[in-house]
Amino acid sequence: MNVNKEVFENKWEQIRAQSKVWWGLFSEDDLNKVAKAPIKRDKYAMMLRVKYGYTHERAREEISKRVAELEANPPSAELLQASPDRQDSKTVSKVRKSRTKKLNL
């Protein structure tokens, strides 16, 4: 099964909510870049290639596997509520705050 871009787009909130569980190297900034991309699936696959050294085909296979798991076991409503897409965009990460403090010293 190869996940097409429409399926990926329709499941984006669920995928985003699970992404840090699946991929520990994904940061909020990475997920924000994917969220803003014209074709989220392609940007997500590119992030897997960059972060994990996957080939294009392996990244697509991993995405398809994870989306199939999501369809079989959707995340809880609480997890989706905590999704950054639903939070105020003015929220600044703790990492960014600490970097800013260091720069201002």
The answer to whether residue 84 scores a pLDDT higher than 70 is: no
Local confidence band at 59 (pLDDT 50, 70, 90 cut-offs)? very high
pTM: 0.70
Tell me the average pLDDT across 47-64: 96
Give the whole-angstrom CA distance, residue 28 versus residue 32.
Answer: 6
| pLDDT the model gives residue 86 | 45
Q: Which residue bears the tokens 């403090």?
A: 101
Span of 2-11, 39-48, 52-61, 68-77 with lowest mean pLDDT: 68-77
Give the whole-angstrom CA distance, residue 96 versus residue 38.
Answer: 26
The 10s digit of each residue's pLDDT in 16-39 is: 999 999 999 999 999 999 999 999
Give the whole-angstrom CA distance, residue 24 versus residue 78.
Answer: 20
Tell me the average pLDDT across 72-94: 56
Dihedral angle computed from the Cα positions of residues 94, 83, 67 and 69, in that order, rounded to the nearest 10 degrees: 100
3-state helix, strand and coil shares in percent for the chain, rounded to the nearest 5: 70, 0, 30
SS3 23: coil
